[in-house]
Amino acid sequence: MKKLIASLLVLIGFSSFGQSQDCQRIGFADTNYILQVLPEFNKAQNDLQVDINQYEKQFQAKIAEYESKLKLYQQGSSAMIDIVRLDKETELRRIQESIEKFQGDVQVALRKRESELLQPILNKVGRAIDAVALENGFDFILNSKVGTTEIVQFADQKFDVSDLVLDKLGVDKK
C-alpha cells in the first residue's frame, strides 16, 4: 500500500513538473459571421445562386419534355402497334435516364463551382486569422461555430477575434 501511495506521489510530481508555467492564450473567431460580412462572400453566394437558377430552368425544361411525351404516350398507347409503343417507351426511358444523369452532373458541377468561388475567400480569411493570432499573441484560435452548431460553449467576448479579422481584411462591420 505504501508503495502504491509513493508511486502515485511520484507520478503526480512528474506530471506537475512537466506542465508549462506559461498560460496558453486561446481566442475564437466566428467564421460564419466573418463570411457574412465579407462582400466577396456575398458575391460568390449570388454567383452560385445564378448558376443554380440556370440549372433549375434546364431541369424544368427536361421534366416538361418528359411529362409532355409521357402524356402523349399514355393517351395513345392503346391504339399503337407494338413496335411504335416499344419505341415510345424506349424514348421515355432515355429521357428519364438523361434527367437522372443531368441531376448527378449538376450536383458535381455545383460542388466544383462552390469550391472555385469559396476556397480563395476561405484561404484569405484563414490567413487573416493567422495574422491576427500572431499579432495579438494568441497560441490558438478556435472556430466558435461549425455551420449552426456551437463549438465553444462559453468564452469571454474579449477573446473573440472576429472583428479584428474583419479589420485585418479591411471590411466595415455591419
pLDDT means per 10 residues, the chain with 174 residues, are 38 42 84 94 98 98 96 87 91 97 98 97 96 94 81 80 90 77
| Cα torsion angle, 34, 35, 41, 46, sign | negative
* Distance, CA of 31 to CA of 124 (rounded, Å): 12
Report the pLDDT value the prediction gives residue 97, as an integer from 0 to 100.
98
Q: What pLDDT, on the 0 to 100 scale, is given for residue 3? A: 41
Domain boundaries, the chain: 17-169
Which of 100, 102, 91, 98 lies closest to 69, judged by CA? 91
Q: How confident is the model at residue 151, as a pLDDT?
A: 77
Nearest to 74 by CA among 97, 61, 92: 92
pTM of the model: 0.72
